[in-house]
Structure 1
Amino acid sequence: MNTAAPAPPAATPRTRWHRLRVTEVRHLTADTVAVTLHVPADLRQDFTHRPGQHVIVRHRQGGGELRRCYSLCPPPYAPTTLRLVIGRGSPDGFGTYAATRLTPGDHLELSAPTGAFALPDLPGAHHVLLAGAPASPRWPRWPPTRCAGTRPAASPSSTRRAPPPTPCWPTNWPS
């Protein structure tokens, strides 16, 4: 069966591209990097973001253009930081470029943050739905105060539980 590759994320004619400087490329795993970007003062309003939003990265190489969507993954200690976590995909894709050749001082073209995949900020118990690409960090998005007293739901497709990096819930639950 021959199927066509999915089309890249569409950018509307109104999409404005912003050239941002890479300030840090941190290797999280052999195939994943966290890329931190500097947002100049005149663009801070455009790049103010909320949980559940993403940006489109436009990368031009070899006469072609790649567009990829990445969730915004700021570290818990700096929630306003513009950081993307990028996984290596196909050998000719942007993830491979980011993991092997992207360095501080380079520039990337990004759209402003968009999207609204988030739960309302309500007081009380929070339930966590884990979703996203394998490279998306999951537990670091919630500080310990947000998950106190809650228990993670096991994924229906998996019977194993990943331990959190912080003690968000009691450790004496039965396995």
Structure 2
Amino acid sequence: MTGGVAPRVVTALTPDSASFAPFGRVVTLDSGALPDVVVTAGSGWTDAYTRSTLTRETPSLGMTSAPGMPFTSTRMERHANVEEALLPAASAIVLAVAEATDGDAPRAEDVRAFVVAHGTAVVLKPGVWHDACRGLDGPTSYYWLSSCVDAGSSPWTPIAGGPVDVRVKA
């Protein structure tokens, strides 16, 4: 508890185009041929790739190693001018986000969480607040694609009215 008030609790959902729209977009590479995904196959292998670039900028590729669930989100960052794509490396990740605002901090009441499955990428809109991802089933790694040159990036900022406990359905 913080100041006698229990933290807000959010349950992570599976992102789809509607539920994730306030934060960005979802690209599912392993769901078969979609309008924005090309699938090819050969002897024992399948390949899928996006028809267009995943982010609007020329991104850097990064990899983050993270602990697993459950977690409490206390701080978030944002990139005001660039998109960021997040992709699980080997197993599902859990992402806590809050909509882009004109304010200087994310708000606890705006925090949502999503389980991003292996084979799926989420692309955050510029300005969307986000925490580091956590592994759904324990410690894991995930990739990110983003331009590392963004004068509008915010440092890790405490969540106003936070913290927020992030959970998944049992």
TM-score by length of 2: 0.28
Q: Greater helix share, 1 or 2?
A: 1
Name the structure, 1 or 2, with higher relative contact order (CA <8 Å, separation 6+).
2
- Which of structures 1 and 2 has the bigger CA Rg? 1
TM-score by length of 1: 0.28
